[in-house]
Chain A
Amino acid sequence: MAIPRASRVRLICWLELGLGLELYACAALVLHTRGLRTTPLLAAPALVIPALVIPPVFYLFVGLVSLRRFSLRQVLGAAVAMCGFHALLVAATGALYTIPDILDFGSAVAFALWGSPAVTLLQLTATPLVFARLRPLLLSPRPAPRAQARATPPRRRAEVPGGVAARARDAAWSLPPREPAAMMPSVPPLQRVLAVSSSAFAHGVQPVVASPLVPQPVATPPAPAPPAPPTRALVRPETGEPMIRISFGRIADQLPVEMFARGREGLHATLHPGVSLLVPRRLLLPYLGEALAPVKWEVVADQFPRDELALSHKEIAGRLPHRSLLLPLDEVVPQIPAELLALSTPAADVYGIEEFPPPFQPHVPPPSETPAVDTRAPAEPAAVALAEPEPPPVSEPREEPEPPAEPEASAEPEGLAEPEPLAEPELFVEPLAPAEPELPAEEEPSQPERGAEALADRGRTAEARRITALLAPLMNGLEIGERDGAGTTLVTVVAPTLSEDSVVRTAARVVPFLADARLSDPVAQATLTGAEATIVLTPFGSPDAGGALLVTAVRSRASLAWLERLSRSAAGEARVPAENGGHSSPVGDPAEEMELRATSVPQSVRELAGSLTAFGPVAPTVLRDAAGSLRACLFLPRSLEAMPLAQFARDLYAALEEAEIGHVSSVILRVGAHRLVVRAMDGVPGRAAMLVGGGPIDRPGLARIELDRAATRLGALVRG
């Protein structure tokens, strides 16, 4: 039969104690063998008096400093106990010295008592150590049947009233100070509260209690707090101290498994259903205003059967957050009388609001009415599915039936003097002009086509407005507008210090490349880093309706990732399912496409490929022109073809030469699941040599930095 873990712990403690005594004996013998012979000594006062006075004084001092709560009785008791143990040690030492020297016991004891300062010091050291180990073994109860354990709860260290609650108050619940009036309305003074509760637990309240046996304290009205004499009779729950009863099962999960001798399951099996912990209500009241109900472990520790615990209470408390348990509010609050929760603060002065009629009245739509427009991000289908219980609309029905401008014209029946377009956010300082539909010149569209394009055009304008509405509160001070560029509507959000014309012209240079056929997918976002500005281009809208481009431009690269993300979110908001239309023809001079040829990759370039960690595994490709000059160096995953991308990068970079925002140092393109980083190599003479890195980049900032370093190193290699 296995020994219970608690008994094993006790056995180990005894063994440690025995080992300590053995070490003491060894030390005493070592002193003896090093020349301290036990010879008969005269009982001279100069020798005897210090030997008799110093130990009690020393032990009194030890008792004073080692007992956490000052109690004269306990200090004296500890000192007396240690003196007694000291006497035992002297006697045992005398017996020890009797054996080698064959002296009489009296002489040996005399020597052990005052014959050697070293032996006395050894005794003064050993006594408190042994006492400290022995005391909990003597005081803690032996494993007993549960019923017995419940009937005789273990003694707890006596505590000064207020101690437990003071620690509870000092728990790491970093609560800001509250106004006294609002903190605890109609709650008795805290000191009195704490005095009663702490004394209750200093003398051990009932251990784990089965709820059916004890009347619910919540039913009783809050009794006036009695004075707190530390008598056992007054601190029991039956005396009227309001207690909160918490099911053990509700807090069991917070307890570390290792604290239980048989594991948590073992304790569950031991405790019957309905077993509860009792916590003084007044300990919880100060925290209820913070929607917390913490209780220090020390407060409830005695309610756990000691023989079921494998750790000491101190160890258990140390493993709990803030040394406390969090009680479930749904069990605590119903046991709090309503009058304790009543607020006495006055109501806010809302004088005068009755003079205004309620501005809004619900209007029950007829069954045939279309549901509300849901503009949730269609890029994430789950969002659409979860957005509304009703089937999500496929278009904006409110805008379709009535072609004229904005249908959401305000028409307050009795109040509005003239119907005007309803306010969008205050950022709409200037209304956006509807974009001109671009019709093919060679053929006249039919009437339905024209209507569809007009609808698409209106929808695009509405999309632009929504996007600007999304962006404006965050980008304070940015100027919002709408321009045409390269046959595309550009919704511009530009920092006021930048020239919008420059931004638009630069963006227009890139527009033809966004759907280039040499790319595996249309570009979802392009970020241009120029000398004077950083531009983020995000296509949105249906390409069939001419497409549109969100152009955000800021001066610095600060928060660029956030700007990119926000632009994608805003554009995704307006993107329709027909996005990502077909590719356009390649831009650039086809004659030059045959110039490039792949050459062998030097070892130094291969090493560079290994340094591009942000790109994932990439393979280097070196392309040279007919004259043998280096024209491009690409680091791409094997799924991407190098040659067309090199040509694309060359053409793109050529298009951005002498850009209006200054020299463009890099272009980052989001293409499908990959990003491409395009930049020129540093210091390579002749025609621009391109460096292209690509891959499923998670950290674009790091990717750009790594490519910058690679560009510098490549430039140095070429020059060298």
Chain B
Amino acid sequence: MSVINYAKKIIDFKIVYYGPGLAGKTANLQHLHRCLPQDNKGNMISLATGDDRTLYFDFLPVSALTVRGFETRFQLYTVPGQVQYNMTRRLVLRGVDGLVFVADSQFERLRENVESLRNLEANLREYECTLDEIPYVLQYNKRDLPNVAPVEYLEFVLNRRAKRVPRFEASAIEGKGVFDTLNTVSRMALASEFGGAREAHNEAS
């Protein structure tokens, strides 16, 4: 859940990029870090192994708009996708306000997407939470590669809960779809926090 500092009028949201290993979570953050204005971003912390795999997690703090007099700031995290780092994933999920599930669109990685999504659900259950209660979106990454599954099939596999969530085609390495994904999940988190969105926006503007 978001952290509100009433004294400083700041609300911090925690957005977590989840997904299987090598799906492009860190690439998302790297692109955001490259393209966000200097004033809106902090240092990106990335702890990677020698083969460029996320060892612990990536972290990028970014600031956004002001709503109802509160400055909103988003802390973007990724999780290590490799199976053996589940404890880290679970810890990073604590207090999450929004989720981006980064799926690898390649056919040969589809099964790992499914398993990662299951793992996400299981880890959320540890916090007595479900995906239905958290704003989350799907990002079908690596659309620029040749052997990718059609979006209809990705939807059939990954977006088949009781309600379909927003999904985005992306190529994070090229920056396609990265901002759309973040903006949507951020707005969903804002809407979840502030409820009456129109009223909040009026105050914001």
Residue ranges of A at the interface with B (Cβ–Cβ < 8 Å): 176, 178-179, 182, 288-292, 328-330, 333-334, 336, 338, 341-343, 345-365, 371-377, 380, 382-383, 386-388, 396, 398, 407-412, 414-417, 420, 422-426, 462, 466, 469-470, 473-474, 476, 566, 569-570, 573
Q: A350-B166, A387-B48, A416-B63 are in contact. Are A363 and B36 (CB under 8 A)?
A: yes
Are B66 and A415 interface neighbours, CB within 8 A? yes
Considering the complex, which residues of chain B in the window 182-205 have a beta carbon less than 8 Å from any beta carbon of chain A?
182-184, 186-188, 190-191, 195-198, 200-201, 204
Give the residues in chain B near A176, CB-CB below 8 Å. 118
Number of interface residues of B (CB under 8 A): 90
Are A360 and B33 interface neighbours, CB within 8 A? no
Q: How far is the CB of A44 from chain B (nearest CB, A)?
A: 73
Please give me the residue from chain B that is nearest to A359 by CB atom.
B64
Give the residues in chain A near B188, CB-CB below 8 Å. 350, 353
Among A178, A291, A362, A424, chain B packs the most CB atoms within 10 A around the CB of A291
Give the residues in chain A near B160, CB-CB below 8 Å. 178, 182, 289, 343, 345
Q: Which of B38, B71, B179 contacts A417 (CB 8 A)?
A: B71
Q: A356-B187, A375-B46, A573-B47 are in contact. Are A333 and B71 (CB under 8 A)?
A: no
Are A363 and B37 interface neighbours, CB within 8 A? yes
Are A373 and B12 interface neighbours, CB within 8 A? no
Are A423 and B49 interface neighbours, CB within 8 A? no
Considering the complex, which residues of chain B in the window 52-71 have a beta carbon less than 8 Å from any beta carbon of chain A?
52, 55-57, 59, 61-67, 69, 71
Give the residues in chain A near B101, CB-CB below 8 Å. none
Are A408 and B43 interface neighbours, CB within 8 A? yes
Please give me the residue from chain B that is nearest to A413 by CB atom.
B39
Q: How far is the CB of B126 from chain A (nearest CB, A)?
A: 14
Are A424 and B50 interface neighbours, CB within 8 A? no
Give the residues in chain A near B65, CB-CB below 8 Å. 356-357, 359, 412, 414-415
Q: Which of A358, A362, A410 contacts B39 (CB 8 A)?
A: A410
Q: How far is the CB of A129 from chain B (nearest CB, A)?
A: 46
Residue ranges of B at the interface with A (Cβ–Cβ < 8 Å): 3, 8-10, 12, 14, 30, 32-52, 55-57, 59, 61-67, 69, 71-75, 88, 91-92, 94-95, 107-108, 110-111, 113-114, 118, 147, 149-150, 152-153, 155-157, 159-166, 175, 179, 182-184, 186-188, 190-191, 195-198, 200-201, 204
Q: How far is the CB of A72 from chain B (nearest CB, A)?
A: 43
Are A462 and B43 interface neighbours, CB within 8 A? yes
Are B201 and A356 interface neighbours, CB within 8 A? yes
Please give me the residue from chain A that is nearest to B162 by CB atom.
A345
Are B50 and A380 interface neighbours, CB within 8 A? yes
Q: A290-B114, A409-B39, A423-B10 are in contact. Are A383 and B163 (CB under 8 A)?
A: no
Give the residues in chain A near B74, CB-CB below 8 Å. 359
Please give me the residue from chain B that is nearest to A288 by CB atom.
B156
5 A-B pairs besides A354-B187, A357-B65 with CB distance below 8 A are A333-B149, A355-B198, A383-B49, A383-B52, A473-B91
Compute how far the CA of A374 lies from the CA of B29 in the bound complex, rounded to whole angstroms.
12
Please give me the residue from chain B that is nearest to A340 by CB atom.
B156
Are B66 and A425 interface neighbours, CB within 8 A? no
Q: List 8 A-B contacts (CB under 8 A).
A: A291-B110, A345-B163, A353-B184, A353-B187, A353-B188, A410-B71, A424-B42, A470-B45
Q: A345-B163, A423-B61 are in contact. Are A360 and B71 (CB under 8 A)?
A: no
Compute how far the CA of A429 lies from the CA of B21 in the bound complex, rounded to whole angstroms.
32
Give the residues in chain B near A569, CB-CB below 8 Å. 47, 55-56
Q: Which of A330, A349, A362, A410 contacts B179 (CB 8 A)?
A: A362
Among A351, A376, A410, A569, chain B packs the most CB atoms within 10 A around the CB of A410
Q: Which of B39, B73, B88 contacts A411 (CB 8 A)?
A: B39
Q: How far is the CB of B38 from chain A (nearest CB, A)?
A: 7
Are B50 and A398 interface neighbours, CB within 8 A? no
Give the residues in chain A near B36, CB-CB below 8 Å. 360, 362-363
Q: Which of A348, A365, A570 contacts B165 (CB 8 A)?
A: A348
Compute how far the CA of A572 lies from the CA of B9 in the bound complex, rounded to whole angstroms.
35
Are A355 and B35 interface neighbours, CB within 8 A? no
Q: How far is the CB of A502 from chain B (nearest CB, A)?
A: 28
Are A346 and B164 interface neighbours, CB within 8 A? yes
Give the residues in chain B near A178, CB-CB below 8 Å. 160
Give the residues in chain B near A347, CB-CB below 8 Å. 163-166
Are A360 and B182 interface neighbours, CB within 8 A? yes
Compute how far the CA of A178 lies from the CA of B157 in the bound complex, rounded to whole angstroms.
12
Compute how far the CA of A291 lies from the CA of B114 in the bound complex, rounded to whole angstroms.
7
Q: A348-B165, A422-B73, A425-B59 are in contact. Are A360 and B183 (CB under 8 A)?
A: yes
